[in-house]
Amino acid sequence: MVQELGYLKETPSQTAGPYVHIGLTPNFCAIEGIYDTDLGTIMVNDKTIGERITVTGRVFDGAGALVRDAVIEIWQADSAGLYNSPAEMRGAADPNFTGWGRCATRAEDGVFTFETVKPGVVPFRDGRKMAPHLTVWIVARGINIGLHTRMYFPEEVEANQADPLLLRIEHRDRVDTLIATREGSTLTFDIRLQGERETVFLDI
Amino acid sequence: MSDLTNRKPETGAFFARDRAWHAPALTPGYKTSVLRSPQRALLSLDGTISEITGPVFGQSMIGELDNDLIHNYARPGESAIGERIVVHGRVLDERARPVPGALVEFWQANAGGRYRHKKETYLAAIDPNFGGCGRCVTDDEGRYAFRTVRPGAYPWPNGVNDWRPAHIHFSIFGHGFAQRLITQMYFEGDPMIWKCPIVGTIPDKRAIEQLIAPLDWGNTIPMDARAYRFNIVLRGRRSTMFENRPEGN
C-alpha cells in the first residue's frame, strides 16, 4: 500500500437540458420578478475603456439546423489585456468592465449578441503573446458537457499567425473556425457543433 | 470572494479533466446528442490565464428570496405547492478544499413535473406560485442552501416511454472559467434514476452515484421540510510550486 492522495472526483456534467433559460436567463424566458436582470447581460458601461464591439453569431448542429435553445458565455481580458479576476496578478483591470457575458440564443433566429470591448493581448504560459481572443463556452440540450472554444479577430493577421493555441491546430484548414468575420464594429462568430466545418473545441 | 477570505488568490492551472468520468459527447440513447456532438478530437491544452481566471460574484448581488423557490415567485402570503425540502451542501475542488464565492444557480420542474416554459407541453398543471429558479453564492466554507419543493418526474420525447427522474439542474461557477460546470441532482432511492437515458450517458456507475443526493435526516427541519445534501466538486488547481517562472530563471 502507498499513501492515499485523497483527491475527489469532479462532479460529472449533465446536459443543461431544454429549459436552461429558466435557470440562467429567467427574464429572457418570461420568468420575471425573481431577479432584476439576467446575469451577464451587461459587460460595459459609459466609462469602459477600449474599442466598442458587438459580438454576434449562431450555433448550428450537424445537419446545419439552428440551435435555438443554447446559452453562450464569454470571458475575456479588458482592452489592456488584464482580466477582472482575483487570479489576475499582473495589474488591476478596468473596473468598468466585467469581462464576463452570458447570452441565450433567441428562439426565433438562434442569434446571440454581446456588447463588449476588444480585448488586449495576454501572455501564454511560456510568455509568448496570445492574439486577442474571447473564451467561449456553449451549453444546450443534447450537449452532455459544456463546450469550450475561442473567438479570434480577423484583423489580427500577424498575431493570429503567432498565437500559441492556433499554432497547435494540426489541420490548418480548421484554424478559420475560430476566427470571426468583421464588418465595422460587428464581429460574427458562428459555432458549428458537428460536420464539415466543425468548430475546434478545446479540452483546456 | 476576496471580501470573504484572506486566502491568497490561487493562480495554478486546473487538473486535466478526467473525460472518462464524464459522459462522452455522442450518446445515441439520448437522441438529441446525435447531431449536437462534436466528432473531431478536442484540442487538449494546459490552461492559460484565459481559463485560470474568472469573474467574482459577491453575496451583495443575491436577493433575500433568491434561495427560496417556495416563495420567490409566489403571490404575497402564498407558497408553491409540493413536498417542502431543503437542499444544501458544499462546493469543493478536487483537492477537497472549499470553493468560497462560487455562484450556484438551480432550476427545476414544479411538484407535478411541469416547467414554466413556453416550449413545455406536458399536461401536468402549472403552479401559479412556482417560477422554478434560484441562486446562491457559497460562503467561506463553500456552503450553499436553498428551499424548494421536490420536483416531479415527467415524460419526455426521446424513446416512446422515457421519463426523467425527479431532478434539479445546477450551474456552478467557481474561480476559473475552466471550472464551469452544469449538472443535475437526483434523489436517493428513486428507482427511475436507472431507467433514464440522460443519466445513462455517464458510463461509470460511481460517477452517477455522485449525482444522487442522500436524505439528510439530521438537517431535516421538524414539522417543516426534509433535507437533502448535495456536495459538488469542481476541478482542482495544481500547486504553483514550480510554475510562473520561465525555465532557467
Has residue A143 got a pLDDT over 90?
Answer: yes
The DSSP annotation for B144-201 comes to EEEEEEPPPPEEESSSTTEEEPSEEEEEEE-SSGGG-EEEEEEETT-GGGGG-TTGGG
CATH number given to B33-234: 2.60.130.10
CB atoms under 10 Å from CB of B176, counted, come to 26
Q: Does B105 touch chain A (CB under 8 A)?
A: yes
- Domain for residue A161, yes or no? yes
Say yes or no: B60 contacts chain A, CB-CB below 8 A: no
Beta strands in B78-138 (DSSP E): 84-93, 103-107, 133-137
Residue A65 has pLDDT above 70, yes or no: yes
The pLDDT of residue B6 is: 56
Instruction: For residue A50, give the C-alpha cell.
Output: 477600449
Chain A residue whose CA is closest to B25: A144
Is B167 considered catalytic here? yes
- pLDDT at position B2: 42
Please report whether residue A201 resides in a domain.
Answer: no
Residue B115 is a catalytic residue: yes
Q: Of the residues B114, B135, B147, B167, which is catalytic?
A: B167
DSSP strands (E only) in B18-83: 43-44
Q: What share of chain A is helix, strand, coil (3-state, %, to 5)?
A: 10, 30, 60
As given in the structure block, the three cell numbers for residue B144 are: 450553499
Find cell 439546423 and name the residue: A65
Say whether residue B122 is in contact with chain A using an 8 A CB cutoff: no
Residues of chain A numbered 101-160 and touching chain B (CB < 8 Å): 107, 122-127, 130, 133, 135, 137, 139-148, 150
Evaluated on CA atoms B69, B71, B75, B78, the torsion sign reads positive
**What pLDDT, on the 0 to 100 scale, is given for residue B244?**
54
Domain ranges of chain B: 33-234
Tell me, yes or no, if B164 is annotated catalytic. yes
Average pLDDT over residues A22-44: 95
pLDDT at residue number B3? 46
Cell representation of residue B127:
403552479
Q: Which is catalytic among the residues B22, B143, B169, B229?
A: B169
DSSP class of residue A172 equals G
Q: Is the Cβ–Cβ distance between A148 and A163 less than 8 Å?
A: no
Contact (CB<8Å) A14/B232: no
Strand B84-93 with B154-156, pairing = unpaired
Q: Is the CB of B10 inside 8 Å of chain A's CB atoms?
A: yes
Nearest-Å Rg of the Cα atoms of chain A is 18
Specify the DSSP class assigned to residue B235. Answer: P
Q: Report residue B106 CA to chain centroid gap.
A: 7
Q: Quick one: what percent of chain A has pLDDT higher than 90?
A: 99
Residues 6+ apart with CB under 8 A from B142: B90, B91, B92, B98, B99, B100, B102
Residues of A in contact with B30 (CB under 8 A): 15, 142, 144
> What was the pLDDT predicted at B7?
62
Residue A120 lies in a domain: yes
> What pLDDT is recorded for position B240?
73
Residue A182, min C-alpha distance to chain B (Å): 22
For the stretch A191-202, pLDDT in tens is 999 999 999 999
Q: Given an 8 Å threshold on Cβ–Cβ distance, is A168 in contact with B45?
A: yes
Q: What is the CATH number of the domain that holds A176?
A: 2.60.130.10
CB contacts of B50 in chain A (<8 Å) are: 75-77, 83, 122, 130, 133, 135, 150
pLDDT lower than 70: segments of chain B: 1-7, 241-249
Asked if residue A54 belongs to a domain, the reply is: yes
What domain range includes position A101?
40-192
What burial class does residue A55 get, using C-beta atoms within 10 Å of its C-beta: 0-12 exposed, 13-18 middle, 19+ buried? buried
Of B27, B92, B107, the CB nearest to A19: B107
Structure confidence at residue A165 (pLDDT): 98
Which amino acid would we find at residue B245?
R
How would you class B41 by CB atoms within 10 Å of its CB: exposed for 0-12, middle for 13-18, buried for 19 or more? Answer: exposed
Number of domains in chain A: 1
pLDDT mean across residues, chain A = 97
E strand residue ranges, chain A: 52-60, 71-75, 100-104, 111-117, 122-123, 129-130, 133-139, 147-152, 181-183, 186-188, 191-192, 202-203
* A30 is a domain residue: no
Residues in chain A: 204
| Structure ipTM over 0.90, yes or no | yes
Q: What is the pLDDT of residue B249?
A: 40
Tell me, yes or no, whether A150 lies in a domain: yes
Task: Determine whether the interchain pair A14/B119 forms a contact, defined as Cβ–Cβ distance below 8 Å.
Answer: no
**Structural domain includes residue A32:** no
| Nearest-by-Cβ selection for B49 from A33, A123, A144 | A123
**Residue A183 lies inside a defined structural domain of this protein:** yes
B191 burial via Cβ count (<10 Å: 0-12, 13-18, 19+): exposed
